[in-house]
Amino acid sequence: MPQTIDSFTGRYAALSLLYRSGFFFEGDEYQSAAAAIEAAKIFNRPDRVSFIGWNCRPWKARTLGKGIPTYWIRPDWNNVEPTVMLEIQRSKFSWPDARDVLLSTEDADLIYGNVCHDNFWGVCKCRSVPTAQRKYGIGARCTGAGEDKLGRILMQVREECKTDPKTQQEMTRHVSFLSPSLTTVLQAASR
């Protein structure tokens, strides 16, 4: 087990916001954390419809997110965003497939390493990428340090998963009021 995991790809791809695995957030089903966090910005729940469900692929969510009208966005968004991200990650990793990957990281430091100058959720490593492979150029504020809020949230959720293991049966009860069709699928799978 590496002491630090700073690339959410390959066997650790499930840690990425762009990983496709269904979960519920505020009563709606999302395909990726990327879609859920974009939708959560939107104050009026019916206006989140483009981000919900399996038609909204993760990269599409990113693109759509850039086009959300300012007047749709919660006025307190900047203050609540990390808390909302924590709730999204808790929901995503309550599902066995994603949770197993998170738990497989044991006690490793999780760092959302990226090259797109995101030093809020992660740590941008653009300066250490060979020039020819720099897709997004060099960020003026990328010093190799970052707040890594996503990595910290993932480590918090991992600790919660270690002390509060949920079974799929419990999950079935948890989601039963949200999606009758999904409940049927889960019950069929557990027979």
Contact positions vs Zn ion (CB under 5 A): 117, 124, 126, 139, 142
For the bound state, the minimum distance from the C-beta of residue 127 to Zn ion, rounded and expressed in Å, comes to 7
**In the complex with Zn ion, which residue's Cβ is closer, 9 or 169?**
9
Query: Among 83, 113, 81, 84, which Cα is nearest to 15's?
Result: 113
In whole angstroms, what is the distance from residue 172 CA to residue 118 CA?
A: 36
For the bound state, the minimum distance from the C-beta of residue 121 to Zn ion, rounded and expressed in Å, comes to 13
**In the complex with Zn ion, which residue's Cβ is closer, 105 or 114?**
114
- Give the torsion through C-alpha atoms of 133, 135, 137, 138, to 10 deg: -70
For the bound state, the minimum distance from the C-beta of residue 116 to Zn ion, rounded and expressed in Å, comes to 7
- Give the torsion through C-alpha atoms of 128, 133, 139, 141, to 10 deg: -10
Strand partners, 23: 30
For the bound state, the minimum distance from the C-beta of residue 81 to Zn ion, rounded and expressed in Å, comes to 20
In whole angstroms, what is the distance from residue 171 CA to residue 174 CA?
A: 5
**In the complex with Zn ion, which residue's Cβ is closer, 85 or 124?**
124
Q: Work out the burial of residue 123: count CB atoms within 10 Å of its CB; fewer than 13 is exposed, 13-18 middle, 19 or more buried.
A: buried
**In the complex with Zn ion, which residue's Cβ is closer, 103 or 145?**
145
